[in-house]
Structure 1
Amino acid sequence: MWRNIASNFLTLFIVVLALFAGVIAWGKREYAGPGPLTQAICLEVESGSNMRRVSDKLAGDGAISNAQIFRIGAEYTDKSDQLKAGSFLVPEGASMEEIVDIVTRGGQSTCGTEVVYRVGIAGQEIEVRELDPASGQFEEVVEFDPAEAEAPAEYAEVREAADTRYRIALAEGVTSWQIVEALRQADFLDGEVAEVPAEGTLAPDSYEVRPGAARGELLAAMQARQEERLAEAWAARDDDLPVETPEEALILASIIEKETGVPDERGQVASVFVNRLREGMRLQTDPTVIYGITNGEGVLGRGLRRSELDAVTPYNTYRIDGLPPTPIANPGLDSLMAAVQPAETEFLYFVADGSGGHAFARTLAEHNENVARWREIEAQQAGQ
């Protein structure tokens, strides 16, 4: 009899153990497998929230199949106490495991409202935009120039929201003065700027910032990024460059940046200046002359006068040999690389071709023909 009881108990234990193992396997599949979400959503995690609240919200939004499994999985992977506040994009079909990673990995929010402050050569603008989870695309809410227009009501609303993200986007070719003046207009930043950083030392890029971030610290981050880029470019430089220091490479890169807005042309433009330096020819580039007039403080807004082209100044490359004494703007990484790895050409001249790019020439005769064609295009445009 006892033998039968022991046998039955053992059988029951095995059955229970098998059921338990099955439940665990099912839970793992539920946790790691594709989720039921049929369309991406924005999940807002409030400050001070916990996994129970988040799991209940996800279950209510149809993003997970079982709130308890979500919490058990987070606890089992030691992520229950790593929850981050913010607005996060939960993609279609995301597993519970993926969602736990999204809300615990940290960093900037990935969904919701974003304020993008664009600092360009001709001015600046603030764009408020909202991410559409379904398309994954941002949709513009409002756009305005903080230097000229009063902030609209839509901007005031998002400024009060705790989960609004902020980003500053610097265009390639902006000057240090333009950047500092634009940052002073940004009402979501704090702190004074003691002095304008040296020209060329700020990296054009996109910078995530938090409300109240110090302007000085942001400028320091821009400087650190540009130092890294310049060091990277200089380490990869060609052997026979006619520039001897990283600082000279930075100056050359700034001229390349201001001479063309066509990415594919940077290497050719760089080759013209490098070839001229090798031949002992003057660079003869208008942007350096303009910088000598404006000191990088705004846009000239008119053509150069003959007296300005004839004046002997440190930045008039029609009258001086070699490079000007400093950069004339803040070049991006592509222009830095073009300066140290120029295209191999015999070009010594270039002029606008009417398409937004340039026509390049090896000889003065070819260049004069290109200039004549450009004059015809200018005349036709003036007559329209």
Structure 2
Amino acid sequence: MKLLRVLVRLIGVFLLLLGAAALVAAWVALRPIPMSKPVVDFDIAPGMSMKRISAQLADAGLDIWPAGLTMLARFNGDATRIKAGSYRIDKPVNMLELVALMSSGANAYADLTIVEGWTFARLRLALASHPDLKQDSAGLDEADIMARIGFPGVPAEGMFAPDTYSFSRGASDFEVLRRAAQHMQLRLEQAWSKRAADVPLKTPYEALVLASVVEKETGRADDRLNVASVFVNRLRIGMPLQSDPTVIYGLGSGFDGNLRRRDLQADTPFNSYTRRGLPPTPISLPGKAALEATLNPAQGKFLYFVARGDGTSAFSSTLDEHNRAVARYQRAGK
């Protein structure tokens, strides 16, 4: 009888310990995982083991017990169902939810980078070729696209902010377009509110148009403020902008990569040699720096610039100075 009582007590202690362990395991599995930063990004490569994934999550900024996460995933059978991909955790989750996310791939995301100086046509090509976007805009014209994202009647060119945009895999391309357009509006509003008092631009849209020219004309960031000042000064005195990129944009698919004298003389709405003032729309997607430079250009009287051939430009205030610079940096090299 004494041996029986001992066995009963041992079984009782074991059950208590087992229950306590279960409670601890449940607490660990269900408590929100502390995060060392607001957003934690991590990648899971194909064939990566659960043990390695758990260690990587801890390194990425999730305060987890790697061995515990590995045991949990193996216990509920999800360890072999984890989906490869890029993931982003931007709100608290517990370990059970984390394993479920990785096994379903529900929180996998992808990126698209819109590059400064791209045209809207180039942006559409990037959207169409992205494997993780639904091509909902395919077959729609520019006007339909702008109406769908909340900008009816607005030309698409220039309206999308260059930046890197993250989205859930399988998201609509309209999501990226809508966010990029809203981001450009915010950037434009912020730059316009801090514009120099003497900038000869009447509206934020005019600033966007000129910034698109500055974007295409800037060979190196150090020159951007001076490039902007040249075009602002030309506008002030009614001088044609005389910008090759505007001519090229106006030629469209007719441009073969070689800008000829006859192209500069062929009048189009975008030919800034034959027409004064701003082009009717932007000619590219300008970055934040181009917007800021356009609305706060360098002070000075520069009216001309010519490429030196090393990525920089030589700036001049008079035509005589400019002609000498052209002779030095361009004609001498031919």
TM-score, normalised on structure 1? 0.59
Correspondence for 1:216 among 156, 174, 195 = 174
The structure richer in strand per residue is 1
* Aligned mates of 2:26, 2:264 — CA distance in 1: 72
Work out whether 1:288 is the aligned partner of 2:242: no
Match of 1:207, SS state, is: strand
- 2:121 corresponds to which letter in structure 1? W
Correspondence for 1:82 among 4, 26, 32 = 32
Per the alignment, residue 169 of structure 1 pairs with 113
- 1:255 corresponds to which letter in structure 2? V
CA RMSD of aligned residues (A): 3.3
- 1:176 corresponds to which letter in structure 2? F
Gaps of 5+ in 1: 1-51, 54-67, 84-99, 115-131, 137-156, 380-384
Match of 2:219, SS state, is: coil
Contact 1:183/1:189, CA 8 A, preserved across alignment: yes
Match of 2:210, SS state, is: helix
* Aligned mates of 2:26, 2:312 — CA distance in 1: 58
CA offsets, 1:88-139, max 9 Å, x none?
A: xxxxxxxxxxxx2249x5x4x423259xxxxxxxxxxxxxxxxx99x99xxx
Per the alignment, residue 244 of structure 1 pairs with 202
Match of 2:141, SS state, is: coil
Per the alignment, residue 187 of structure 2 pairs with 229
* Aligned mates of 1:282, 1:112 — CA distance in 2: 52
Correspondence for 2:319 among 356, 364, 383 = 364
Per the alignment, residue 275 of structure 2 pairs with 320
* Aligned mates of 1:113, 1:288 — CA distance in 2: 45
* Aligned mates of 2:267, 2:109 — CA distance in 1: 48
Q: Which of structures 1 and 2 has the larger relative contact order (alpha carbons within 8 angstroms, sep 6+)?
A: 2
Per the alignment, residue 35 of structure 2 pairs with 101
How many pairs align? 251
How far off is 1:303 after superposition? 1.8
- 2:35 corresponds to which letter in structure 1? D
* Aligned mates of 1:204, 1:71 — CA distance in 2: 46
- 1:289 corresponds to which letter in structure 2? V
Correspondence for 1:343 among 295, 298, 314 = 298
Contact 2:304/2:318, CA 8 A, preserved across alignment: yes
* Aligned mates of 1:158, 1:71 — CA distance in 2: 28
Per the alignment, residue 263 of structure 2 pairs with 308
The structure richer in helix per residue is 2
Give percent identity, aligned residues only. Answer: 40
Match of 1:201, SS state, is: coil
Contact 2:229/2:300, CA 8 A, preserved across alignment: yes
* Aligned mates of 2:270, 2:114 — CA distance in 1: 24
TM-score, normalised on structure 2? 0.67
Where does 1:1-384 land on structure 2 (aligned, <5 Å)? 80-83=30-33, 100-102=34-36, 105=38, 107=39, 109-112=40-43, 162=105, 165-193=109-137, 194-196=140-142, 197=146, 198-294=156-252, 300-376=255-331, 378-379=333-334
* Aligned mates of 1:199, 1:184 — CA distance in 2: 17
Change in Cα spacing, 1:360 to 1:164, as seen in structure 2 (3 Å) is: same
